[in-house]
């Protein structure tokens, strides 16, 4: 988020006018029915005993998927501006219903869209990033209500066009509003107790973590963990907002706290195993070994907001040539292939290949650096199980193996057992 120099003083003045605020975010499963909306309203009313409450809400249940289906019934390639306008209506419904429910409980509540509140984004549709939030509007709203119900996932451009923030966008909205309002905490309510060492639905022995660092959660989220979006965690780290992932249906449970871990030593090497099956691998073959080739590829994809990962430039037996391989989200594969096919002739490359039968299985932990035995145990675990590793990527906090999609769940369970993560 940024402010112009002229608007900075006004924003700071507005922030000083803001009372202490609790920021709560409820996902789609938490508001998928009227009974659940009533339950959320009860949580909000209870939190009002401690001061004003800002509530960020997602669309009800599978509403966004339903709206996407309607759009694709109109056309195979919906106009991105119109698609954002359509998708944003899901949150409009849920915030209005929650505000109505709160008012029946004699709570002074008000629903607002991103347009009404002033959540400004860049002019990119379906994956926009927040640039600014009108803090003055927040301060004004809380002068007339106790509970402000805000539509997550959406923003508005300087020209007044509606945008959406992409997958997990409501988490990002909540954290951005917590930062803008000066809140210390942002509670992310979902349908699980918090963050586990792995997906408890697939690995029953997975253990709930009571505390984890921003960095570890960013890695786990980027590598397939679905509890919270990495953009939201990065934003929380930037502004020092402590996140608490909690279960809507166990409101007394403290869940998992996500913070910088400044006051603790690294007390565990490994924190979890993450799996991401929504991936595809793309390779452009026999690319001339010349300066600037990789930049041309990455820049062309970046213009379409395609995020690439695990990029690898491999040695080629023919002198002066390379193969460049990387992974992208499955949904970005068709557009990625189209872009690379256009670049192929320009760069003198031979062919473009894609492999959709892949998944990422990753081991994540803040204490992995300087411990080569961790990688050795990981690779031997998969090798002994006859699970072939197609690609490997590593950093100080994670080791990612690309395997066949059908073997991903088995690989994750074997790794979880090998490192005894149920005991961390």
Alpha helices in 59-159 (DSSP H): 63-74, 80-87, 89-104, 114-117, 135-142
Quote the CA–CA distance of 149 and 98 in Å, as a whole number. 7
Residue-level pLDDT at 315? 64
What would the pLDDT profile of 224-260 be if each residue is shown by its tens digit?
A: 777 788 899 999 999 999 999 999 999 999 999 999 8
Establish how many alpha carbons lie within 13 A of residue 127's alpha carbon, considering only the half-sphere containing its beta carbon: 9
Residues of the chain predicted below pLDDT 70: 1-16, 262-267, 315-319
State pTM to two decimals.
0.83
Coil, helix or strand at residue 121: strand
**Neighbour count for residue 89 (Cβ, 10 Å):** 16
Buried residues in 321-346 as b, exposed as e (16+ CB within 10 A): bbbbbbbbbeebbeebbebbeebbee
Structural domains in the chain plus CATH codes: 5-191 (3.40.1160.10), 273-423 (3.30.2130.10)
Residue-level pLDDT at 4? 47
Quote the CA–CA distance of 292 and 123 in Å, as a whole number. 28
Quote the CA–CA distance of 123 and 192 in Å, as a whole number. 34
């Amino acid at each position: 988020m940024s402010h112009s120099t002229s608007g900075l003083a006004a924003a700071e003045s507005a922030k000083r006018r803001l009372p202490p605020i609790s920021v709560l975010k409820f996902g789609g499963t938490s508001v998928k029915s009227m009974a659940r909306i009533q339950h959320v309203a009860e949580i909000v009313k209870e939190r009002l005993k401690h001061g004003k409450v800002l509530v960020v809400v997602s669309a009800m249940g599978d509403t966004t998927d339903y709206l996407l289906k309607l759009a694709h019934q109109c056309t195979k390639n919906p106009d991105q501006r119109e698609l954002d306008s359509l998708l944003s209506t899901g949150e409009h419904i849920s915030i209005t219903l929650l505000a109505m429910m709160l008012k029946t409980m004699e709570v002074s509540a008000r629903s607002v869209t991103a347009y009404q509140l002033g959540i400004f984004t860049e002019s990119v549709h379906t994956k926009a990033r927040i640039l600014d939030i009108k803090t003055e509007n927040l301060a004004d709203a809380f002068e007339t209500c106790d509970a402000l119900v805000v539509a997550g996932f959406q923003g508005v451009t300087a020209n007044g066009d509606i945008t959406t923030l992409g997958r997990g966008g409501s988490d990002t909205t909540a954290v951005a509003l917590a930062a803008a309002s000066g809140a210390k905490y942002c509670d992310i309510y979902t349908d699980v107790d918090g963050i586990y060492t792995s997906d408890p639905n697939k690995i029953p022995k997975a253990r709930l973590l009571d505390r984890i660092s921003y960095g570890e959660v960013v890695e786990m989220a980027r590598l397939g963990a679905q509890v919270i979006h990495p953009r939201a965690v990065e934003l929380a780290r930037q502004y020092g907002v402590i996140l608490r992932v909690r279960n809507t249906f166990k409101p007394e449970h403290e869940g998992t706290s996500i913070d910088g871990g400044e006051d603790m030593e690294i007390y565990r090497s490994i924190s979890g195993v993450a799996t991401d099956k929504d991936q595809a691998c793309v390779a452009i073959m026999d690319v001339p070994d010349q300066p600037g080739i990789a930049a041309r590829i990455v820049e062309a994809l970046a213009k379409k907001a395609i995020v690439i990962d695990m990029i690898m430039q491999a040695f080629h037996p023919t002198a002066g040539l390379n193969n460049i391989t990387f992974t992208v989200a499955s949904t970005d594969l068709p557009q990625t292939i189209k872009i690379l096919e256009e670049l192929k002739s320009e760069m003198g490359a031979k062919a473009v290949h894609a492999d959709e039968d892949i998944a990422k299985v990753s081991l994540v932990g803040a204490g992995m650096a300087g411990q080569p035995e961790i990688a050795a145990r990981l690779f031997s675990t998969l090798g002994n199980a006859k699970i072939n590793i197609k690609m490997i990527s590593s950093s100080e906090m994670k080791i990612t193996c690309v395997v066949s999609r059908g073997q991903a769940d088995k690989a994750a369970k074997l790794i979880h057992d090998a490192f005894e993560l149920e005991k961390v």
